[in-house]
Each structure stands twice: as C-alpha cells, then as structure tokens.
Amino acid sequence: MKIAYDGIDKGMIELSDIGRRDSLDVYSRHVGQDQYIRFGDEITLVETDYVISSAVKGMLKKLADEGIISINPATAVAFESMVPNGTTGTVTTTEAVLTFDVDPTTLAIGDVTVTGATKGVLSGTGLTRTLTLTAISVLDGENIMVQLTNPAGFAFTPTTLSAPAWVADTDVVFSNLTANGSTGAVTTDELTLTFDVEPTGLVAGDITLTGATKGALTGSGTSWTLAISAITVLDGETVNVALANPVGYAITPTNKDVIVWVAP
C-alpha cells in the first residue's frame, strides 16, 4: 500500500501515530530507521491486516479524510500528444496515436471519449496507444478531441488534447448537362446538371458559365437546375459550364458544353 504525504502540511508525522507500536517494524523496513514521515514523502507499507484495517477505518483513513495524506495515490502521467494519421484531401484519418511519459497500464477504451469521430479499439503498451477512429464528422483539417478519464492508479495531465483530422474528398462524376427550350421557338432558360453522387454544398458561386448569364442554382441529390439568361451565342450553339469543387468533393470532369436554343 502506498501512502503519500501530499495534502495538508502538518509537519513531521510520527509513524507510531499511523500504526500500533508493535507494527513499527513494518514501516521502518520501508522508511529506514527514520520513524517520521515528512511532507512530500511517499512510502510503501506491507499490507498486513492491521495496515489494511487502518486504511479502512483507522488512523490512515482519518488522515486521508482530513486531506493530509493520500492512500494509494495515483501516478501522475503526462498526456503528451495525440496525432491522427491521414493526409489532407486524400487520405481519411483512421487512427490516432496517443503518447505518454509513463505507461498508464490500466487505461482502457472505456476511459476514452472522442469528439468529432467515432472511437473503435485501443491497443498498445508502454508509452504509446493506438486508437482506431471511424465516421469523422468534422471537415478536413478541423480538430477532433480525445478526452481521457483517469483509470485506476493514474492521473492524466492534461486530460484532453485536440488535433486536426483529415477527410479525403468524395469523388463526384459530373455525368450529364442538358438544356431546355427548342430551336427557333423556345429560348433556353435553364440547364440541368446531373451527378452520380450528391455534391452537398454546391452553390451558384462554384459555377462559371460562358455564353450566357447564370442565375439561381436549385436542387438537391443528384440533379440540380441552373437558371440562365442573356444568351450570347447563336441558336444551336453551345455554352460551357465549369465547376469549382465544393468543400469535401472532387468533381470530374470539371466542365461540360451543352447546346442552347435562342428564339428569334
């Protein structure tokens, strides 16, 4: 049993105040011939029945209740770093490596809380642990947070660290571009853009239109409609739609032509 004189400084505490005199040899074997504990000392006691009793209901417990000593004090552990893997825009984070200055032997997955991702399995020994991660919910380059609850026998400082996680762009195929209207009769006033995957976050500002003036962009899912006006090409000629990638998406191809119609 470890006893740390780490609370309120009451000066030197005589060992006989902690245990019966016929148990002093138990203490002196671990502290030497000095039969006092000084503030800041930590000693190890042989767990005799009397020592255990003292910790449960005797003098050791009284001193602990008064905040003078700690019984089996936690070992201080520096939570030094938390480093997610991955690469911005191309490789999604799947794990984070946690580093400590002391091996927190009792640390378990239940002691770990993750914000910004879903935790998986905690593995490793010694000064590092590897935490698997899925379902990253922050944007590429934004921070996830790992918070540790102190396991038995250890106290982390700090208990929380944050670091950027990485999310690969979602590939989107710009599969089709069509125009309404009809030759010589009905002027085109909207274009329909079709994708294989919904490019969430696509806005009119991501679109450059050549050959006409763009208006509002509406739609969702895989089909979007772009209003157009003031067509500058002739009836039956093409306009071009070029797309900039919205955050988190990689669109290919980035532009398409389509025939538009201009009524006389």
> Minimum mean pLDDT among 56-60, 96-100, 103-107, 227-231: which range?
56-60
For each of the domains in the chain, give its residue range(s) and CATH number, in order of start.
Answer: 2-71 (no CATH), 75-164 (2.60.40), 170-259 (2.60.40)
d(CA 109, CA 131): 8
Higher per-residue confidence, 244 vs 47: 244
Question: What is the pLDDT, as a whole number, of residue 42?
Answer: 81
Question: Across all residues in the chain, what is the average pLDDT?
Answer: 90
Q: Is the pLDDT of residue 19 over 80?
A: no
Q: Tell me which DSSP letter residue 168 carries.
A: B
Q: Is the pLDDT of residue 56 over 90?
A: no
d(CA 4, CA 37): 9
For 188, residues 6+ apart whose C-beta sits below 8 A from its C-beta are: 179, 180, 181, 212, 228, 231, 260, 261, 262
Model pTM?
Answer: 0.64
Q: Which one-letter amino acid corresponds to residue 220?
A: S
Q: What is the DSSP string of 24-50?
A: HHHHHHHHTT--EE-TT-EEE----HH
Question: What is the pLDDT, as a whole number, of residue 18?
Answer: 53
Average pLDDT (49-76) is 83
Q: Is the pLDDT of residue 66 over 60?
A: yes
Confidence grade of residue 21 (pLDDT, cut at 50, 70, 90): very low
Give the rounded distance of the alpha carbon of 249 from its chain centre.
21
